[in-house]
Structure 1
Amino acid sequence: MLARSLYNEDHQLFRESVKKMYDKELVPFVEQWETEGLVSREFWRACGDNGMLLPDIPEQYGGMGLDFKFNAIILEETALAGTTGPAFGVHNDIVAHYIHNYGSEKVKHEWLPKMATGEAIGAICMSEPSTGSDLKEVRTKATPVDGGFILNGSKTFITNGINADVAVIAARVGDDSGAKSISLFVTGCDVDGFTKGRKLDKVGNRSSDTAELFFEDMFVPTENMLGKQGEGFIYMMQELPQERLSIAISCQAAAQHAYDIAVDYVKERRAFGKAVFDFQNTKFVLANLKAQLQVGWAHLDACIEALVEKKLSTNEAAAAKLWHSELRCKVVDDCLQMFGGYGYIEEYEIARLWRDARVMRIYGGTSEIMKDLISRSI
């Protein structure tokens, strides 16, 4: 790929520390996590010890006080290691930022230091059985009572749902059916009325635990509301660009990893008396993928820089999520084809990468929703 000017020497040193840590603490356990359906808590704590949790949250709350580029490096290296297991995009880039940007000082000091050490794992609870991309239709109800709110409802497709210790929840206060009645709350996952349902059996992303969650007469104190009552939908819209860029970053790096292992394979695999790489079709497919990946990295770096400078718009983030998730699926599918029948065998890594890619065009907003958002800016 082209030399990247996005990162400085400090970023590169951090990347090397992440790689070194992954070689010891992540790569040897990927298959185990895939089988068990979740990442070990020991790994999360090891990430905390290595300064990989909440890198861009201020030091006064347990973070590193760095910029989002450090978050991006973690996302890239996780995908380049061939796993989707530890959902840093949710923990670091979403949950921590909701708490930091909208939480009271008490809430920040209660949860962010624990999230920074890996003692507490975060989950974001938006999607419901009947509500996905249309967040204005959230039905979970928050009823005001003395000292706080009583929450009733359910959530589904919640990443980190089984491991979670702290959750940010979108719920409706009052009878208004529109966006103006949606508020956000933060709660520990061990409180009365908070129930973790089954771990969902997904097609891919198997080492990333995903669950159904249920709230039954669950009390949340007033100080655990994030920001102002009725402003939840606005906050979600403000945070979505970073969430969607995080997905785009993972997608680009995962596509690069699939390409890299495919190149290695076709240079070793022989057919009709020569390496598969030596066939013109193989070279043309790889050349086309390499060109698309080169363009992808340049675009991604521009988006990361824009986010750090607080200039990345909602429609630009949607475009990044759309383009890089579609690219990932295209690259992985073309790479699997070059493995032939072995590409469809689970013991080959490309099979897992292929399974993991498909959901990227769905979560964080479907490709269709991304196109609709982009069209509004035309």
Structure 2
Amino acid sequence: MFELITQILLLVGLYYLVRAIWPSIYNPKYFAWFGVAVFIALVVMAFAYPTNRTVGILWAVLSFPLRPLGLTLILLGFALSEGLQKVKGQQVLAAFLILLISSLPITAYLLTAQTEQRSVIEAIRRQEASNPREVQAIVVLGDGSAQLDPASRIRTQVTRPGEGGISITLQSRLLYAAELYNNRTQRGSNPLVIVSIGPQPLDIRGRPLPGEGEAVILLLTSHGVPQSQIKLDTEGIDPRSSAIAVRRILLGPKGENVDCRIFAVCDDGFRELPTTGTTGPRIPIVLVSPAIMIRRASSSFTRVFFEVTPRPTDFYSFQLQRGWDLAALTALVPSAEALVITSRVVNEYLTTVYYFLRGWLADPLAV
């Protein structure tokens, strides 16, 4: 936290230092360019240091206008910028339409149906139930219920705490992972169950405080998973870092080299040699993840040389699925829940674009 506050104070101090030293350039036009330069610097930081907490918080602020609620508030702000007597009707109308469309259950349903790919996932689920593949591990992605990063409260799904301090949604994923494990042990397999819970709070001596990790182990062992087969990932903070951490758990230190390239040195210089796209064996795993992010998670794990069988959970269900006739009226009644779901889908799209630009996705459209 001290490092985070220091970084933010340095950025603010830099702004006022420039303003104090060069008062002659204190012109809105020049400071607009200065703002552009700061924005570009933040983008470069996001690519160079993706796990930096300052970048995460600033991204949550900068991406606010790209979300339905943020765009609505900004348009209303512009509409009222000249006072109540000169309200700009076009901006008010645009803000109203954005908020209305984003709050409709039918909008949330269509967006989540596209993101979750229910038909494809159901086909995978039926195939897996009839003939489960031999895998080395069952990987469960956590939901950040004990995140240290304050920005995670903006980025992650807010859920009620369940038993042992872990969220209800994470409990459902753990129970599903235990079911998958028991099904495989009945067929003679004994995979590891790896749960990515992220960094945990430490005491003054630097030792992890008892909390989510113990609750995860207790829940899994109470549903038939031996403690010897449970591994906790306390490093991963997103699908990419979780994939690297899981590979390190399974392969040791050699599992860290996921971005290596091969070059040939010749008399006239050097050139990159074509490779098969792997630096080691592809590890077969089952990936248990929220359905809304299953595409990005599966593609991220595939990118670091896993052979992924996706098993999504936490589907969003709507009355629309039981028939359009019954749902025709309620689907057109705006609700706060629909706005939250729509915002989460939009945020997932933005994050997927970032992953794509970083080259962290094997196939952005894969499930």
TM-score bracket, normalised by the shorter chain, equals: under 0.3
**Structure index of larger Rg:** 2
Higher relative contact order (CA 8 A, sep 6+): 2
TM-score scaled to structure 1, two decimals? 0.24
Return the structure number with greater strand share: 1
